[in-house]
Amino acid sequence: MKATARAPSNVALVKYWGKRDRRLNLPATGSISVTLDGLETVTTVAFDRALDADTCTIDGTADPRGARRVLAFLDLVRTRFGVTEHARVRSRNDFPTGAGLASSASGFAALTVAIDAALGLGLSREELSALARRGSGSAARSLIDGFAEMRAGTAEDGSDAFAVALGPPDLCPMDVLAVVTTHQPKAVGSTEGMERTERTSPYYRAWVEQTLADLDAMREALRASDLERVGTIAEENAMRMHAAMLASSPPLLYWNGTTLDVVREVARLRQGGEGAWVTIDAGPQVKVLCAPGRGEHVAARIEAVGGVLAILRSRPGRGAHVVEDAA
Ligand code: DP6
């Protein structure tokens, strides 16, 4: 009744921003991501008959916002699998806390895999991915090694909305830098931000349509291991998402001044012949994709940009899995 899992964060190369069903957390479109080596969450789950309520600590403290979503997820699992016991959940992020990178993706992927092992459910990768999606859409992709494609699916019950593998970590080698520009938590969470964009952005429909084309192009670029195309499509797709966000009412502006300075520095690097591209999620941090082995050089240039607080280096890695040591 007790197990531990380790799950990585991931960064979307073609983003998920919009839902077709809120209750089942079904995405409006598919998305494609790279699973990030080293930026991991470790979670231990213990179901215990003696408990009369669930408990949850994240990085040693009872984080009420994160914990509420974890407790709702445990309720869902109990209903779905006929479990009566409550659980003790302990979770820690293996990257600096307060880096603004702690993601619901690695968190819910680790929680899902740990629950499956603790209860001996024996779910398939696809079932695990669909279950993780209920916690957070991006978590569904952290189940997969290397490169993942989240399928939007068409089934009303969401049973075909899960992530599948596009290829192992060496499908398209790259270095990935996570550039930290603030330690503040983001003002508007993804779930709320998506809802606002869907409801008020005149560009939301165009965003959805363009994403379908970007998915096809990205799949092909990855298959060809063409980093220049992968980087170009990823950067353009991220900018399109931010354009749709900006056009919301009230506008969703996730960037700060340093975010923009990093975007400009990467453009300058590119003008100088370096293969480097940015992608940005619903926050002010920047991820930079570059050629394998070039991460150190690119990081040195970005470090010199005023306001950059930290740079974490990663590469394509392994998806969520069970481990022996408790969190
Ligand atoms: C901008 O997965 O955090 O990072 O399903 O509502 O929990 P919920 O949203 P979440 O959204 C991620 C949005 C994104 C793009 C992406 O990762 O695809």
pLDDT in tens, 79-121: 999 999 999 999 999 876 555 676 799 999 999 999 999 999 9
Q: pLDDT tens, 17-46?
A: 999 999 999 999 999 999 999 999 999 999
* 297-308: average pLDDT: 98
Average predicted confidence (pLDDT) for the chain? 95
What is the distance in A from the centroid of ligand 1 to the CA of 136? 7
* 146-175: average pLDDT: 97
Ligand 1 atom 8: residue of nearest CA: 136
Residue 33 CA to residue 63 CA, distance in Å, equals 27
Residue 324 CA to residue 179 CA, distance in Å, equals 31
Residue 138 CA to residue 151 CA, distance in Å, equals 11
Decide whether any atom of ligand 1 lies within 6 Å of the 17 Cβ.
Answer: yes
What is the distance in A from the centroid of ligand 1 to the CA of 272? 33
What is the distance in A from the centroid of ligand 1 to the CA of 306? 28
What is the distance in A from the centroid of ligand 1 to the CA of 139? 8
Please, are residues 159 and 25 in contact by the beta-carbon 8 Å criterion?
A: no
* 215-233: average pLDDT: 98
pTM here is: 0.97
Decide whether any atom of ligand 1 lies within 6 Å of the 281 Cβ.
Answer: yes
What is the distance in A from the centroid of ligand 1 to the CA of 17? 7
What is the distance in A from the centroid of ligand 1 to the CA of 166? 19
The reported pLDDT for the residue numbered 94 is 86
> pLDDT-derived band of residue 272, with 50, 70 and 90 as boundaries?
very high
* Atom of ligand 1 at shortest range from CA of 139: 2
Q: Which of 10, 15, 16, 149 to mutate to test the pocket of ligand 1 (most atoms within 8 A of CB)?
A: 16
Decide whether any atom of ligand 1 lies within 6 Å of the 25 Cβ.
Answer: yes
Q: Which of 311 and 60 is assigned the larger pLDDT?
A: 311
Ligand 1 atom 6: residue of nearest CA: 191
Please, are residues 134 and 25 in contact by the beta-carbon 8 Å criterion?
A: yes
Helix (H, G, I), strand (E, B) or coil at 42: strand
* 204-214: average pLDDT: 98
Decide whether any atom of ligand 1 lies within 6 Å of the 15 Cβ.
Answer: yes
Residues 6 or more apart from 170 whose CB is under 8 A from it?
146, 316
Q: Put the strands of the sheet holding 310-314 in their side by side order.
A: 276-279, 286-290, 175-180, 310-314
Q: Which of 9, 20, 70, 138 to mutate to test the pocket of ligand 1 (most atoms within 8 A of CB)?
A: 138
Structure tokens at 176: 């990935």
> pLDDT-derived band of residue 65, with 50, 70 and 90 as boundaries?
confident
> pLDDT-derived band of residue 66, with 50, 70 and 90 as boundaries?
confident
The reported pLDDT for the residue numbered 325 is 82
Host H or E run for residue 303 = helix 295-303
DSSP state of 316: B
Structure tokens at 54: 């669930």
Structure tokens at 18: 């919009």
pLDDT at 209 over 70: yes
Structure tokens at 319: 């998806």
Amino acid present at 260: L
The reported pLDDT for the residue numbered 97 is 58
The reported pLDDT for the residue numbered 46 is 98
The reported pLDDT for the residue numbered 100 is 63
* Atom of ligand 1 at shortest range from CA of 27: 5
The reported pLDDT for the residue numbered 96 is 67
Structure tokens at 60: 């040693």
Residue 163 CA to residue 126 CA, distance in Å, equals 7
* 177-196: average pLDDT: 92
